[in-house]
Structure 1
């Protein structure tokens, strides 16, 4: 096999790695020949010390890549921070630029994976298949308490119409839903499919189901809050497969207690870095908010699982390696949308 000779000189330190990360990155590294160093721990100011002779770090959604970390990376001669995810709100891009460290990401791995998970959460909450599964295993074949509603004809509001939002809109249209969308700019292709672009307030007021597909930034943080919840229909369903910080947790708990929010499905959570991707089954969880959320019968929590398909993990590994190879060999990157600094 022909492996780029320059790749042998480059070592990648992976943080927040799980067994499946090692499987997919080792499998596809045959084409690239990088030296790989895997750490299960999160990257933060205390764990930077683990990096030895690596000029590239590869991080995930809950790694901390702030100014302190970046300055330590620069001291260790790290030249590239490669995100193996689309979101980059955990990286101080200005600090990276000051320290001449390139930052790249995976802008689109499998939009369908996340969009399909969002629809799976809607159907699970609505038709209560998770409860039916447990009930039948206990030989309880009663239908009491499992009443749902037809998705056909309902109004689904989408906040954020990037690749995932677009994929989700197609699924919703396939179910016969009326689809409203909000984004900074409208998408003519989606409009041809029947999606109506409206104001954010209209999405809140008119939707039976609201699904979040926007990045987390200063404009979108806590877009779901007490004020926006007050505008919504009674018994609204809210789905978040994007970033935990889009939802103000305390406000949503109040909305659930009051019955204003009829259903909540979250694959992300504001404080997830202390919880998700870990087995805490034998621990006492100190986070009262997530414990309260999980106590509601109409709340479904999955642990940042939406991206987790074979196709998505394959694409994440290949795009990450190609981004790094481009930056290493050309001091440039072919996919400009993946280069952040």
Structure 2
């Protein structure tokens, strides 16, 4: 069974090699993302393995099909970057990792919130320079604050459990209400109520055509003054220009992002020696109340082990015609 990996980082090689000790798979690793510029290089493989910033559109899928590729395997949960209609048309299966240590992402979201609020990143740098002043480091208690959680799938549910431990009041919105969360004291409300009532809003929903730019000028106007917004899901959930305007007027009091709409040109790369031409991300990072990490939330030992194991299991099962152990892993 032969697999071509795209958007490959050193840790991808390490974890996928660790899960292939019996050498039942043969790997090809490409550092570049999958797209029209490289798809012609795909040859003599059963599957391609892609990540969040690969662009698997109709043009790419048509070439993959002509090269005999049977499977597009996402080593992530989201699949908004794959043209599913084209995959069906050309008879290529699409699989994903529907849940990989949801606690990893939930814990990172809380770490972003705590860091942004208590300014521990700034305090760390100050103390290293022998500056022990507390001026400018004032935060607020999370205890008693209302957090609105958008999306209560596995990650959103894990985040609710973490936030509950801080003594927060939890509001949630999801198409499907979780009975366990309701028993835990989480109140499901409509989006308008969540926007109006939340001190902090945390996004944990997949990106769909319907919710693209759900955080926009209209929704921001409904929010409390000084609201804190967290996004560890998908960058395009947020209209970045609208958020920048709200930061300038102080309508948004804090913003923490692990994802960014144009991240494929930036994230997972060392650009420290280059001039970044993306003026939007530069403007975002110029605000003292904005915290950005580079799609790091999934990055734990447990999550990467599970991603590698599940991805290979998906591919093997599809090639051998086995029923998947988790039917949510098969998208097409």
Matches within 5 A, 1:2-41: 10-31=1-22, 33-41=24-32
Residue 91 in structure 1 maps to residue 82 in structure 2: yes
2:167 to 146, 167, 176: 176
Match of 1:285 in 2: 276
> Structure 1, residues 121-166: CA drift from partner, whole Å, max 9, x if none?
0000000000000000110000000000100000000000100000
Q: CA deviation at 1:300?
A: 0.1
Residue 222 in structure 1 maps to residue 213 in structure 2: yes
Matches within 5 A, 1:159-174: 159-174=150-165
- Structure 1 Cα separation of the partners of residues 49 and 23 of structure 2: 15
Matched position secondary structure for 2:21: helix
- Structure 1 Cα separation of the partners of residues 22 and 252 of structure 2: 49
Match of 2:113 in 1: 122
Kept in 2, the 8 Å contact 1:32–1:321? The answer is no
Unmatched 5+ stretches in structure 1: 1-9
Instruction: Report the more deviating stretch, 179-188 or 300-309.
Output: 179-188
1:61 to 52, 65, 70: 52
Matches within 5 A, 1:155-304: 155-304=146-295
TM-score, with length taken from structure 1: 0.96
- Structure 2 Cα separation of the partners of residues 275 and 335 of structure 1: 33
Residue 43 in structure 1 maps to residue 43 in structure 2: no
- Structure 2 Cα separation of the partners of residues 333 and 178 of structure 1: 38
Equivalent pairs counted in the alignment come to 332
Match of 1:320 in 2: 311
- Structure 1 Cα separation of the partners of residues 205 and 73 of structure 2: 21
Matched position secondary structure for 1:30: coil
> Structure 1, residues 88-147: CA drift from partner, whole Å, max 9, x if none?
000001100111000000000110000000000000000000000000011000000000
- Structure 1 Cα separation of the partners of residues 12 and 41 of structure 2: 18
Kept in 2, the 8 Å contact 1:326–1:334? The answer is no
Matched position secondary structure for 1:107: coil
Match of 2:64 in 1: 73
Match of 1:3 in 2: none
Residue 146 in structure 1 maps to residue 137 in structure 2: yes
Unmatched 5+ stretches in structure 2: none
> Structure 1, residues 48-86: CA drift from partner, whole Å, max 9, x if none?
122221121000000000000000000110000000000
- Structure 2 Cα separation of the partners of residues 31 and 223 of structure 1: 46
Q: CA deviation at 1:332?
A: 4.3
Distance 1:284 1:92, change over 3 A: same
- Structure 2 Cα separation of the partners of residues 80 and 285 of structure 1: 35
Q: CA deviation at 1:31?
A: 4.5
